[in-house]
Structure 1
Amino acid sequence: MPTLADLAELVRAPAALSVPGDVVAGAAAAGSLGRRTPALATASVLLYWAGMAGNDWADRRLDAVERPERPIPSGRVAPGAALGLAVGFTAAGVGLAAAVGGRRAAGVAVGLAAAIWGYDLRAKNTAAGPAVMAACRGLDVLLGATDGRLSRALPAAATVAAHTWTVTALSRREVDGALGSALPLGTLAGTALVAAGAARPPSAVHRPVTAGPAVRSPGGNPLPAVRAALPAVLAAGYAARYGAAQARVLTDPSAGRVRAAVGAGITGLPALQGALTARAGAGVVGVLVAAAAPLGRRLARKVSPT
């Protein structure tokens, strides 16, 4: 009988803190941040847990050789139980999205679930793996936008998808190491581009017309200046931590350094999501989303996010 700790390890529980920010960023960009957003974020977490349990079920024979300490090969979680959790979480996630967001949200949730299972069962160990995983995260952002103008969330979805591509590309070298500098150089360049895109100040579309000038005048209201700078501050925090972890892989391409970089990419994602949320004009919410990053790093010391 698996313990709660075993199940938390199976579904990479701390990594789930990187998930709600996708939905929040999508909702903010689409202008639909509201009472349905938390429920859609919960549906997203359920689908993420489904993907993690399904991943370990699909990889159970490979993990028996490469990572025998994981819950299934170590005998702490039965393969059938892991598969049952994956199926159950998938049904619950899609069902909740449909109940909250109607047919539009259900359609995106079904597409997301299909992409998750496609990655776990087929694409993970192919050249298409990083692109499929990136599509999963992009669809996750769009799930949050289903109650608003979906097209306005496409840039945020593309940004999160690009970040996810870098993390997934690195994760493929977690066992054997990076084998040189080409991979970390490429992902580091991608991270710089992602951060630069997220650092742009709120657009005129989202900025309130009464906000005042972007730069504070003597004795004026400081909020517009803070609002304009917030995406850059959060994006810089994301780039600094994740970028530093990738830079260390350049000097030491060992498997341990690669795993650390992957972990930094997972736990640092809320800072990027926060920047995107702030860029859409929801600065306070963006800061709250970004606050999940240090919490995720702390929890990752107890349960590995990779």
Structure 2
Amino acid sequence: MRAWVELLRLPALFTVPGDALAGAAAAGVRPNSRTLLAIGSSLCLYEAGMALNDWADRAEDAVDRPHRPLPSGRVKPAAALAAAGGLTLAGLALASRAGRRPLAVAGALAATVWSYDLVLKHTPAGPPAMAAARGLDLLLGGVASGGDTRKAVPSALTLATHTLAVTTVSRHETQGGSPWAPLTALATTTALTWSLTRDNGTRDTRTRDVLNREDGTRGDLMRYDLMRYDRTRHDRTPATPGNGRPPENAPTALQHRRPPPRPGGVNLNIATLSGALTTLYAVTSARPLLHAAMNPSPPLTQRAVGGGIRAMIPLQAALAARSGAPVTALLTAALAPAARRFSRKVSVT
């Protein structure tokens, strides 16, 4: 069992549900039963990629990582390949339960995973392929949940960009010696943090503008109604009981037209939550990358890769909060402590 836990890198599974949850939030819908199917499909396809990765790299791992389950003989190569195939079929079956479109996205995701592990991993197309896989995984959540997939594209690109940077660093985790990869990933983290922070500020400005326009519209309507009321009242006699004119303190229809409550407090809370999650993402990703850039040894490079993988959880949560789904963001962020705890026992790289 310990060998299979290492082979499948089970602590990394905590970074997967946030893809579908962030995809549903970005697509403008709440998580539902089909979102759970997308999460199950993503988990199966992710683990299929893990098993297939070690099967494809078993000769290389025999030199660089002889302690891994396949080179050490604790897991048979045929068993790892069979697990990869079975998990892929299970992932596609779960996606098919959500509909044809989710199945199509899951099929593209499975094809990307197998192409990366078997063909593209050691080529220049490797990091873009892995980035595409993460982006497709987020889109799978949006499509399966029944939302507008086009709205989820920016979030998918953000997650794919982070994955591209982490995958580029991971190509040096066994040999080390290159400070440029962690420096580039650090710059990418900074750019993504700035982009998320800027989006929050732009959204708050747009919200205030909309509220101001709504206030102006309500004021114009009230003035128009008062003018109509004045034109239809020709009787200027004092208001007395029985003369047909309502007393001055009598409630009118205009007094019952109360504007809807402003959602300013809710938007402020969402902006604050998104900012906190963005900061957590930046700290989780940037700190080990800085250490790896200063000393690009294999241990620090592996630590930077692990930090980049764990940073996906606050990034997913920040994307959900940016989409106006604070509950989904908090549920996603709640996975981070478990991921950190179990990654101390089993490496995610």
Give the Cα separation in 2 of the matches to 1:25 and 1:240: 20
Counterpart of 1:153?
152
Change (3 A) 1:98 1:182: same
Shift of 1:37: 1.0
Give the Cα separation in 2 of the matches to 1:211 and 1:51: 49
Give the Cα separation in 2 of the matches to 1:211 and 1:269: 36
User: Does residue 202 of structure 2 align to residue 194 of structure 1?
Assistant: no
Give the Cα separation in 2 of the matches to 1:272 and 1:211: 31
| SS at structure 1 position matched to 2:99 | helix
Counterpart residue type for residue 155 of structure 2: A
Change (3 A) 1:253 1:60: same
Deviations along 1:257-286, one digit per CA (max 9) or x if unpaired, are 000000001112110000000111111210
Counterpart residue type for residue 119 of structure 2: R
Shift of 1:33: 2.6
User: Does residue 84 of structure 2 align to residue 86 of structure 1?
Assistant: yes
Larger radius of gyration: 2
Counterpart of 1:298?
341
Deviations along 1:176-229, one digit per CA (max 9) or x if unpaired, are 1142x322211101011122233332948x989867364xxxxxxx43311122
Match of 2:293 among 242, 245, 250: 250
Deviations along 1:87-143, one digit per CA (max 9) or x if unpaired, are 0000000110111x2100000000000000000000000111100000000000000
Counterpart residue type for residue 87 of structure 2: F
| SS at structure 2 position matched to 1:31 | coil
The answer to whether the 8 Å contact 1:211/1:224 transfers is no
Counterpart of 1:177?
176
Shift of 1:21: 0.4
Counterpart of 1:218?
none
Counterpart of 1:9?
6
Counterpart residue type for residue 137 of structure 1: R
Give the Cα separation in 2 of the matches to 1:273 and 1:241: 13
User: Does residue 314 of structure 2 align to residue 271 of structure 1?
Assistant: yes
Change (3 A) 1:211 1:25: farther
The answer to whether the 8 Å contact 1:249/1:258 transfers is yes
Counterpart of 1:32?
29
**Percent identity over paired residues:** 46
Match of 1:212 among 255, 262, 266: 262
| Number of matched pairs | 293
The answer to whether the 8 Å contact 1:63/1:73 transfers is yes
TM-score by length of 1: 0.92
Match of 1:227 among 270, 283, 286: 270
Match of 1:71 among 66, 69, 72: 69
Shift of 1:293: 1.6
Counterpart of 2:326?
283
Counterpart of 1:125?
122
Counterpart of 1:97?
95
The answer to whether the 8 Å contact 2:169/2:182 transfers is yes
Change (3 A) 1:24 1:203: farther
Counterpart residue type for residue 86 of structure 1: A
| SS at structure 2 position matched to 1:145 | helix
Give the Cα separation in 2 of the matches to 1:107 and 1:197: 30
Counterpart of 2:254?
none
Counterpart residue type for residue 312 of structure 2: L
Counterpart residue type for residue 155 of structure 1: P
The answer to whether the 8 Å contact 1:46/1:92 transfers is yes
Counterpart residue type for residue 261 of structure 1: A
Give the Cα separation in 2 of the matches to 1:255 and 1:283: 38
Gaps of 5+ in 2: 212-259
Counterpart of 2:281?
238
TM-score by length of 2: 0.81
Give the Cα separation in 1 of the matches to 2:24 and 2:38: 10
CA-atom RMSD, angstroms?
Answer: 1.8
| SS at structure 2 position matched to 1:148 | coil
The answer to whether the 8 Å contact 1:203/1:280 transfers is no
Change (3 A) 1:71 1:149: same
Counterpart residue type for residue 276 of structure 1: L
Shift of 1:230: 1.3
Gaps of 5+ in 1: 215-221
Counterpart residue type for residue 296 of structure 1: A
Give the Cα separation in 1 of the matches to 2:296 and 2:165: 16
